[in-house]
Structures are given as C-alpha cells and as structure tokens.
Structure 1
Amino acid sequence: MTTTVTPQPQAVGAVHRQRGRFAEKAGLRIGERFASPGRIGAIVALVLLAAFWLLPFLWAVVTSFKSETAAAATPVSWVPSDGFTTDAYTRVLREGNIPLWTWNSLITTVAITLITLVVTALAAYAFSRLDFTGRRWLFWGIIASIIIPPQVLIVPLFYEMLTLNLIDTYWALILPQVVHPAMVFILKKFFDQVPIELEDAARIDGAGRLRVFWSIVLPLSRPILAAVSMFVFIGAWNNFLWPFIATSDASLMTLPVGLQTVKSAYGLQYAQVMASAVLAALPLVVVFLFFQRQIIKGFATTGFGGQ
C-alpha cells in the first residue's frame, strides 16, 4: 500500500518565502537563477580583480617581515631563505615617535572630517533647496574648481597661513583641507533625491529651515554622509605634502610625515619602508572594515552603483 503525502499550503508558502528571502539577500529577483553564466562570469572577474588589487598590499606585508638582506636580494621571492622577522617594525617603532604622530594624525583627520561634513552639507543643501541670485553660476564655479590640482594652491595657502600666524599649529593643518568641492557636488545630488514633500510637511508643522535640515534631511542622508566621511578621512590621513610644508615642529608631525623622517634617517631600506607603509595603512583598513556597508550604500544611493 502506497501512501501519498500532499504538501500543505502552509509548507509550500514557507518554502517560497524562504526562497524569496534567499534571493533578496543574494541580490536576485524571484525566479532568477543564481548560477547563471553571466553571474558566474561576473563573480570570477570580480575575484580576479580583487586578487590583482590585493597583491601589492600582500607583497608589502610579506616584505615588511623580511630582513633587509632578504628584502633586497635578487631574484625576489615570497618566502625568504633566512625566515621572517619583525626587525623592521622594531626599528620603526623604536626610532620614531609613532604614538605622537598617530595622535596628531587622528586629531587633524577627525577635525577635517567633521568640519568638512558641516560645510559641504550646508552648502549642498543650499544649492539643492534655496533659490538665490547667482546660484547656478556659483554651483558651476564649484564644479569647475574640482579640476584644479591641489599642488597649485600650496603657495597661496602657505602665505595665507603665514599671514594669519597659524604656521606650526593644528589649524594650519586643518583649515586648508576642509574645502572639498567634489563632496558638495555629491551631497547636492543626493539632496535632490530627497522628497521635498517631507520638508513641506515639516514646515507646515512650524519647523524652520535649519530644523528641517537637521531633523528630516540629515537622518535620511546617513549612507551618503558615511561615504563622504570615509573619502575625506582617507584623503586627510594620507596627505603628506601639505602637513610636510605647513609644519616644521616635530611635535606636530602627522604619521606620514613622521614615518618619512624615519626612513630618511636610515636611507633606502625596503623592509623598513614596507613596515612604515603597513603601519600607516592599518588604521584605514580598520575604519573601512567597520564602515564598508555604509560606503557601498552611499555609492548606490547617489547613482554611482548603476542605479
């Protein structure tokens, strides 16, 4: 005697819901196959590009754990014959004031990021929502300033800081780096997508322009604000030229400038150079790992993700 089990409607519905949740997490539309040829090709291409991008960083890490003899030996090899060592890190940490340089970089980078967010967000909101005389021409002027190389502005900025008696201060490191026309453009494009009906409803309830901006627009803009913060943070942390010119006081050196002085004192030593590069990049890697979801979401919501 054969017994036929008929699937219950509840069980079938649960299976469909489970498939729908899986498809949503995988970025698929319901009914779309996961192992389609196009998707497999895209995944393979992304894996190869990721490996190609990570290869120099992996080589820097491996070289930083070699001795100077093994790092300069030819032909090059991934595994040194005399084994791995931490001598390069020991020399950099012993001869350089890493805690002070890291603290200076952290203070200036956080201040630059916060001030840039305030300035660019207010400017972008004004270009997006306010109608004032010369708005169009001023916005085009900001866009045109994106193509100006920062190196061109070093001399006038230095004389400006010198006139204001700000050389060899934290303000000399911070103020010239808070101007980011590209971030104004990115935030303005995002604010254009925020439904204006939400702001009209808040103004009907008696909210002013700044209250609408603070309570309505900014909470809806968290992904793009996180992405802009990351861009500004990375640029300010890696900036070497302006901190090198604006300060001559060793107690105000940032991490890139300080590590450069350590390398110059010992000449060209490959393992030590790579150890310094890894130490300078490590905070950025940690910050990116914590905020990668917000960065990706910020790209998608501004149209850079193809949406």
Structure 2
Amino acid sequence: MAMIKAGRAQTRPTAAKWVKVGSSVRRRRIERRLLLMLTLLAAIIWIFPLYWALVTSLRSEDHVVSDNAGLLPDMFNLAAYQDALFNSNLLTWYVNSIGTSLIITVLVLISGMMCAYALSQMRFPGRRTLYGVVLASFMIPSQALVVTQFVLMSDMGLVNSWAGIILPQLIVPVVIIVYKQFFDAVPSEMREAVLLDGGNEYTLLFKIYLPLNWGITSALAIITFIMAWNQFFWPFLVTTSESMMTIPVGITQVRDTFGVNYARVMAVALLGAAPVAIAYLLFQKKVTEAVMISSGVKG
C-alpha cells in the first residue's frame, strides 16, 4: 500500500506538469496566430495604396472620378499606360534617372573606397582630423546645404545638366565609414607582403582589398543606386526643363490643361517605380544587408 501511495504521489506532479506544458503550448500557438494576423493586417494596409494605384491606372478617367468606382478592378483600360509611354517624356526621364543613378553609384563607391583606404591604411598628417570631419558630416542635414549648392551650381552653369544633378549627391559619408571598418579588419601583414613584392597602393586597393569585399561593395552599390533613383528634392530644384528631369520629378509634370489626369499619373508612377521594385526583388538579400550595414553605422 505504501508503494502504491508513493507511486500515486509521483504521478500527480507529473500530470500537473504535462497540463502546464500543454497550456503553455496552446498559449504560444495563440500568440503566433495573433502575430500572424497582425502581420497580415499590416501588409494589407501597406500594400493597399499600391493596389489602388494599379486599379486606378487601369480605368478610364471618367470612371476614376465617378461615384460608382469600387475597390475591385471592373475594367482593364490600358489607355493611361499608352498615353504615359507615347505622349509624355517618360522615356527621357528613364534615361536621365538611369544615367545619373549609375554615375552617382560608381563615383560614390570609387571615391568612398579610396578615401576609406587612405584613412585606414596610410599614415599622413591630419588623418584623424579628416576622419573626424567625415563623422561630423552626419550631424549636418543635407537640406541645410541646398541653397549654397544651388548657388554654386548656378554660378558654374550646371543647372539643367547631369553634372548639376550628380555632383551634390556624391557626398555619402556612410560609404567611407563602412569601407574603413572593413579595411581596418584586414591584417597589416598582407599589405606589407604586397609592398615588399613591388606592389603599390593601387595594386593593394583594386587587386587585393576590393576582391575581398565584393559582398559589401555590391550591397552598397544597390542601396546607393536606389537612393539616387528615388532622390526628388535636389533634382526638383536643379532642373527646370522637362527634358532633364528624372522620374520622381517628371511625375509632378504629368497633368493636362484642364486638371489632373489621375489614371495617367498613377500609370507614370507605377512605371517609374517598376525598375526599383524589380531590382529589389532580384537583390533583396543584398539590399537588406546594405540597410543593416547603414543602420549599424549610423546607430
């Protein structure tokens, strides 16, 4: 009898333990479902403007402003896309955006890489002061320099030109800092060995250091290109001719004599955002890495 009672006494805590574990598992399932529902709700709220822009672009202008326009796409009218492609400067804006964004990306990476290499691997007077200036540039908002930059571009005759769009956007301190952190982690013995073999600083940078950080370079290239493509404020100020505008600025010029053509505006906006969306889908991992790198440096 004593052994039976002892067995029952041991069984009761075990059963209670299983009940506690089961309730904990059910609670976690409920929490996961609630989190999933909140995530889906946030995704719907985020994607609804894009959905509405697509639906609006596929309607006729009369139907867009009609009281009977619903949430579902009840018609597929491609007139707005045809009008945007053939009756506007959209293709010219594409060329301007692609050209300026590519040039900005290449120049920012090359200049940032060379500056970071000099600050990390070379010893010269004022090196620490120069790096302090680079760090201090984070505290100066770009909007505070707009008036000075515009006056400078105007005095140089670069208004309504690619050079006027590109030059003020070449200052990207985060690229210098990211590269410097990587160069600081490379063993100094590697640099000494290359120099003893007759190599120079350019050999070290472009043939040794650059191949070692292709992942960082590609991530920074993608995020820099996207930022340059989406830049609106400065190109809006420095371009007054439609033939020199980029996609974000050109969208503001899509209007008719009698008012705003909403379907056409939405069509141009979607066509303008398509290259960036496609680039993000193709290089999603690299974009995420670049955002994490930039956030880590800024934080």
TM-score normalised by length of structure 2: 0.76
Aligned partner of 2:72 in structure 1 is 79
Tell me if 1:228 matches 2:228. no
Deviations along 1:53-105, one digit per CA (max 9) or x if unpaired, are: 4443333323322333444456874304x423223222322331222221122
After TM superposition, give the deviation of residue 304 of structure 1 in Å. Answer: 4.7
Matched, 1:162 2:154: yes
Letter in 2 for 1:144: A
- Alignment partner, residue 24 of structure 2: none
Shift of 1:293: 3.6
The correspondence for 1:252, drawn from 244, 250, 254, is 244
- Superposed CA deviations along residues 218-276 of structure 1, whole A, max 9, x for unmatched, are 11111111121122211211222222222333322222222221237563343333222
Tell me the equivalent position of 1:63: 56
Cα distance between partner residues in 2 of 1:303 and 1:94: 41
Q: 1:240 to 1:301 in 2, by over 3 A?
A: closer
| Aligned counterparts of 2:139 and 2:122: Cα–Cα separation in 1 | 26
Report matched runs for 1:98-247 at 5 Å: 98-247=90-239
**DSSP 3-state at the match of 1:267:** coil
CA-to-partner distance for each residue in 1:134-187, whole Å, 9 max, x for gaps?
333322322222232222222111111122222222211111111111222222
The amino acid that maps onto 1:79 is L
- C-alpha deviation, 1:282, in angstroms: 0.6
Looking at structure 2, the residues matched to 131 and 160 of structure 1 have their Cα atoms a distance apart, in angstroms, of 33
Find the counterpart in structure 2 of residue 9 from structure 1: none
- The answer to whether the Cα contact below 8 Å between 2:178 and 2:293 also exists between their aligned partners in 1 is no
Counterpart secondary structure, 1:236:
helix
Question: Contact 2:93–2:244 at 8 Å: present in 1 too?
Answer: yes
Q: What are the ranges of 5 or more consecutive residues in structure 1 without an aligned counterpart?
A: 1-35
Which residue in the other structure is 2:271 paired with?
A: 279
What percentage of residue pairs aligned between the two structures are identical? 36
* Structure 1 residues 33-72: aligned runs within 5 Å: 53-72=46-65
Q: What's 1:267 paired with?
A: 259
* Distance (whole Å) between structure 2 residues aligned to residue 302 and residue 171 of structure 1: 26
Task: Call closer, same or farther: CA 1:186–1:63 in 2, change over 3 Å.
Answer: farther
Equivalent residue of 2:255, what SS?
Answer: helix
Distance 2:115 2:258 in 1: 47
Aligned pair count reads 270
Spell out structure 1 runs of 4+ moving beyond 6 A. 36-48, 300-303
TM-score by length of 1: 0.74
Going from structure 1 to structure 2, the CA distance change for 1:153 and 1:38 (only over 3 Å counts) comes to same
8 Å CA contact 2:120–2:184 kept in 1: the answer is: yes
Which amino acid in structure 2 is aligned with residue 247 of structure 1? T
Structure-1 separation of matches of 2:153 and 2:60: 43
Query: 1 CA distance for matches of 2:221 and 2:246?
Result: 19
In structure 2, how many angstroms separate the alpha carbons of the residues matched to 1:143 and 1:192?
A: 16
- Of 185-194 and 168-177, deviating more is 185-194
Whole-Å separation in 2 of the counterparts to 1:190 and 1:55: 40
Instruction: Please tell me the residue identity of whatever aligns with 2:240.
Output: S
- Cα distance in 2 for residues equivalent to 1:84 and 1:126: 57
As a proportion of its length, which structure holds more helix? Answer: 2
Q: Is the 8 A contact 2:255 2:265 kept in 1?
A: yes
Q: What is the RMSD of the two structures over their aligned residues, measured on CA atoms? A: 3.2
